[in-house]
Amino acid sequence: MQTPLENELDELKQQLLTMGSYAETAVKQAVEALITRNDALALKVKENDDVLDRFEIEIDDLAINLLAKAPLASDLRAVTVAMKISQNLERVGDEAAKIAKRARDLNGEAPLKTSLDLPAMAKAALEMLKAALDAFVRRDPASARAVVERDKEVDALNKQARRELERLMLESPDNVLRALHLMIAAKSLERIGDHATNVAEEVVYLCEAQDIRHGGK
Amino acid sequence: MSEITLPRITPLAPAAEAAGAGAPVIHVENLSLFYGAARALKDVSLTLGEKVVTAFIGPSGCGKSTLLRCFNRMNDLIDNVRIDGTVRIGGHDIYGANVDVIELRKRVGMVFQKSNPFPKSIFENVAYGLRLHGESDKSALAAAVENSLRQAALWDEVKDRLHRSALGLSGGQQQRLCIARAIAIRPEIILMDEPASALDPIATSRIEDLILDLKKEFTIVIVTHNMQQAARISDYTAFFYIGELVEFAATSKIFTNPANQQTEDYVTGRFG
Amino acid sequence: MNALTPSQYLPETPREFRHFRAEKFDFASFFFGGLTGLATLLILAILAVILGNILWNGWDGLSWHFISTIPKKDFFDPDTTGVLAMIVGTTFRVLVMTIFVIPVGVITAIYLTEYAPNAALATRIIRAAVNNLAGVPSIVFGLFGLGFFINFIGKNMDALLRNPGPVWGQPALIWASLTLAVMTLPVVIVATEESLKAIPAGLREASLALGATKLETVWKIVLPQALPGIMTGGILAVSRAAGEVAPILFTGVAYYMASLPGKLSDQFMDLGYHVFVLSTQSPNIEQTRPILYATVLVLLALTFALNIVAIIIRARVRKKLRALG
């Protein structure tokens, strides 16, 4: 027999997981729209961002109501972590929408010839997000820590992308506009990696009450 | 363009040690207590610090009140009580051979769950302890009474009716009167057994503010059923279960990340 | 615009609610209420008859002269009769009894309530003894008084003091009072115990926690609170003792004393005993009957007066306790 408090905590967790899967989908679709030059998909991503916004509001509301009941110990950590994760997931959604916008902008131009490996970056960022959310479900601080480690990889890939795009821009003024769009898209992917890292750090705090943000262990 | 000077941001100091606990003042070693054949306290050991608030929490019957009453030997009043182990206060074993219980109770005061003012005037209530211990000088008494009532945040409400019956006060005022009465004899330690449990939220919060104020001068040990209260006012918390001390740590740790699963279960309301 | 009257805008009481409006007649309550009322009336009636009879028959015999005259030896004669000696005797013996019974009773009750360990054998024996004492017939107390106080203590006192003749070893005011004290001890003990028990344990705990000894707690906190209860015990003892005759028969009452009792070793006359004497020893019952009724009236009035005084004192004590400490 669960207490009403436990039921509400479960509800909170469910909402977070649902929001997480929406966020994952948004990123997947945005990247696909970019790579396959799919306008319709890009538009869909932009519209679905609403859903994520509403989820954040809903989850924050649930959390505040739970806080009024003065939960303690792991319950308290669960509620504050939920609020942080929902914020990060909402930003992921925003970044996905930005990628989708850049996709639509690029679709209006001819494709740029480049060796840029955006798909690799996207894959890494998506995997990080998925792993962070999995770690949350399974309450697994070890895999969460692994996600934090992987952020370096995405940062490196972003640096690489920038250098390639800078080279393209210097090569010819015709490339500048398209390169800029791509640069922004890459930046968004890097940010998605950062948000996934944040989620993972929150998961570690939830499980171990250790705050590993900003260099802590 | 003039230079923009940004304010210096000092980085946050690493979390300070839980409120400067002074010298250890109550030292319990392997304490067991028996009511006849039934064991109420099992091998309890802990050390309470000076001028901090320590909370005892735990489900009903876990022994927290029993332990509290060991500190001023109020358990002596019950027939058939047997003690094993030591309780040291200020270095002295209070269950030792030549201990003067009266002296002990002068130094270790107590406030009870149900406020119990004497059916005397407010003044006489606060002066009772002082008179008991030999003070008879009128002006000294008056000064001490005023002092205690001020410290108990009750002076302004009763200064015009010091000689009227204490029973005419409200529940919250009566409890603050009992606190004034206890601190009038300047004990070092104040024991509080669920002092606010019979009071409404506003009266409760006044008592809590009072406790936070009193800890500047007294060491306080409080038994409470209300975990939010323990979280609000105590510096250290001890969790008891069926006569045993399960966990004792800084309050912030107990309520955000207890080390023991039993503590976690109790604190989150999963049992008890 | 015409104002609507309530009956115009309030809906009619729907049919299904109508039978809640009037209370149904409950026969059981009525019957039981009536029965208890009748019982009360019965008691009042009996009281009225008794008192009325006494008042009716005794009122004429009452006079200031009657109350204030020490009777001559022939107190069956209305001209030479008086009840002053009996009033004084009864009052004295009750007062001396009170002086002994209250302290002893209160201390015993304090011991039983505050000090004695509840489960101990000694405590249970004491309690059993007190309860049994309450059931002993009054005449047995009289015999006890004779055997113990007079023949044992009194005679030995005379021997120790080397009195030429029996001074203490014979019926005396003090022995009668002590006998009455022993008889009414249970009443005082029980009343005191009840009032001590009624004091919440919290008060004692508070006092002890402040560093008071048990004695200080009893003296400063418990006893003052228990005072009204103790006085109730006293009132009950006085009411019982004033009318008792059997315990004083062998221990101090005299058929006739020419003067008022002046010392504790004196004998005394008594109202209750005098009623007995008047009704059984009178040569002319017709002549004596008015005196008899008047004596009874005086006895009742005296008991009543003693009670009233005690009740007033108790009420003052209660008021003082309520107001301040």
What SS3 string covers A72-135? CHHHHHHHHHHHHHHHHHHHHHHHHHHHHHHHHHHHCCCCCCCCCCHHHHHHHHHHHHHHHHHH
Residue B231, domain CATH: 3.40.50.300
Tokens at residue A92, please?
A: 């992921």
Helix-, strand-, coil-residue percentages of chain B, each rounded to 5: 35, 25, 40
DSSP-assigned beta bridge partners for residue B24: B49
Q: Please, which contacts does B133-139 make with residues 24 or more away whose CB atoms are closer than 8 Å?
A: B133/B106, B133/B185, B133/C211
Q: Do A74 and B255 touch (CB under 8 A)?
A: no
pLDDT band at residue B2 under the 50/70/90 scheme: low
Does residue B261 sit at the A interface (CB-CB below 8 Å)?
A: no
**CA dist., res. C306 & res. A181, Å (int):** 112
**Inter-chain contacts counted by CB atoms under 8 A, chains A and B:** 33
C144 belongs to a structural domain: yes
State how beta strands B38-49 and B24-35 pair. antiparallel
State how beta strands B53-57 and B24-35 pair. unpaired
The B residues from 213 to 242 touching A (CB cutoff 8 Å) are 227-228, 231
Range of the domain at C119: 64-323
Half-sphere exposure of C135 (CA within 13 A, CB side): 4
Range of the domain at B197: 24-118+188-267
CB A47 within 8 A of CB A54: no
Contacts of C213 in chain B (CB under 8 A): 102
DSSP-assigned beta bridge partners for residue B56: B223, B238
DSSP-assigned beta bridge partners for residue B223: B56, B193
Residues C167 and C249 in one domain: yes
Number of folded domains in chain A?
1
**CA dist., res. C31 & res. C94, Å (int):** 45
C12 belongs to a structural domain: no
C217 belongs to a structural domain: yes
Task: Give the three-class secondary structure for B248.
Answer: strand
User: Minimal CA–CA distance to C306: which of C100, C67, C70, C98?
Assistant: C98
**Inter-chain contacts counted by CB atoms under 8 A, chains B and C:** 73
Q: What is the pLDDT of residue C21?
A: 54
Instruction: Write the CB contacts of C175 (distance below 8 Å, at least 6 apart in sequence).
Output: C145, C149, C150, C154, C251, C252
**CA dist., res. A157 & res. A122, Å (int):** 10
C19 belongs to a structural domain: no
pLDDT of B90 > 80? The answer is yes
B133-166 pLDDT, tens digit per residue, is: 888 899 999 999 999 999 999 999 999 999 999 9
Residues C169 and C230 in one domain: yes
Residues C106 and C195 in one domain: yes
**Would you call C191 exposed, middle or buried from its count of C-beta atoms within 10 A (0-12, 13-18, 19+)?**
buried
Between the alpha carbon of residue A152 and those of residues A146, A157, A194, B31, B39, the distances in Å are: 11, 9, 10, 55, 59
Higher pLDDT: A144 or B77? It is: A144
Residues C40 and C129 in one domain: no
Residue in the block written with tokens 């302890």: B129
CB B89 within 8 A of CB B107: yes
Tokens at residue C135, please?
A: 């059931």
CB C251 within 8 A of CB C168: no
**CA dist., res. B106 & res. B101, Å (int):** 9
C4 belongs to a structural domain: no
Task: Give the three-class secondary structure for A143.
Answer: helix
Residues C34 and C130 in one domain: no
A121-134 pLDDT, tens digit per residue, is: 999 999 999 999 99
**CA dist., res. A28 & res. A38, Å (int):** 13
Residues C49 and C171 in one domain: no
Residues C102 and C152 in one domain: yes
* C–B contact: 3+ Cβ pairs < 8 A: yes
Tokens at residue B132, please?
A: 């008991």
Q: What is the pLDDT of residue C5?
A: 65
User: Minimal CA–CA distance to C307: which of C242, C229, C239, C228?
Assistant: C239
B127 belongs to a structural domain: no
Q: What is the pLDDT of residue C325?
A: 45
Residues C150 and C240 in one domain: yes
Residue in the block written with tokens 């009414």: C184
A73-121 pLDDT, tens digit per residue, is: 999 999 999 999 999 999 999 999 999 999 999 998 888 888 778 889 9
Give the residue from A8, A67, A72, A139 with the most B CB atoms within 10 Å of its CB, the best one to mutate. A72
Q: What is the pLDDT of residue C318?
A: 86
C126 belongs to a structural domain: yes
Residues C244 and C265 in one domain: yes
CB B223 within 8 A of CB B65: yes
Which of A3, A5, A73 shows the shortest C-beta gap to B257? A73
Angle at C234 between CA C232 and CA C240, to 5 degrees: 105
**CA dist., res. A38 & res. B156, Å (int):** 77
CB C241 within 8 A of CB C272: no
B19-28 pLDDT, tens digit per residue, is: 445 566 899 9
Percentage of residues of chain A with pLDDT beyond 70: 99
Give the residue from B257, B260, B265, B266 with the most A CB atoms within 10 Å of its CB, the best one to mutate. B257
Question: A: neighbours with 3+ CB pairs under 8 Å?
Answer: B
Contacts of B231 in chain A (CB under 8 A): 72
B110 belongs to a structural domain: yes
Q: What is the pLDDT of residue B15?
A: 39
Number of folded domains in chain C?
2
Q: What is the pLDDT of residue B209?
A: 93
Task: Give the three-class secondary structure for B266.
Answer: helix
Residues C247 and C265 in one domain: yes
B170 belongs to a structural domain: no
C102 belongs to a structural domain: yes
B96 belongs to a structural domain: yes
Torsion angle (degrees, nearest 10) of CA B83, B87, B89, B91: 120
Q: Among the three residues C58, C81, C104, which one is the final residue of a domain in this structure?
A: C58
Residue A147, domain CATH: 1.20.58.220
Residue B270 to chain A, least CA–CA distance (Å): 8
Residue in the block written with tokens 């304010």: B7
Residues C45 and C190 in one domain: no
Average pLDDT over every residue of B99-117: 94
B207-256 pLDDT, tens digit per residue, is: 999 999 999 999 999 999 998 999 999 999 999 999 999 999 999 999 99
**Would you call C185 exposed, middle or buried from its count of C-beta atoms within 10 A (0-12, 13-18, 19+)?**
buried
Residues C51 and C110 in one domain: no
Question: C: neighbours with 3+ CB pairs under 8 Å?
Answer: B
Q: For chain C, 325 residues long, give each residue's pLDDT as a single digit of tens.
A: 556 666 666 666 556 555 555 567 788 888 999 999 999 999 999 999 988 988 888 887 788 888 888 887 777 777 778 888 889 999 999 999 999 999 999 999 999 998 888 778 888 999 999 999 989 999 999 999 999 999 999 888 888 888 888 888 889 999 999 999 999 999 999 999 999 999 999 999 999 999 999 999 999 999 999 999 999 999 999 988 988 999 999 898 888 888 888 888 889 999 999 989 888 888 888 888 888 888 888 888 888 888 898 889 889 888 887 765 4
Contacts of C323 in chain B (CB under 8 A): 165
User: Minimal CA–CA distance to C88: which of C102, C67, C66, C60?
Assistant: C67
C255 belongs to a structural domain: yes
Contacts of C321 in chain B (CB under 8 A): 119
Number of folded domains in chain B?
1
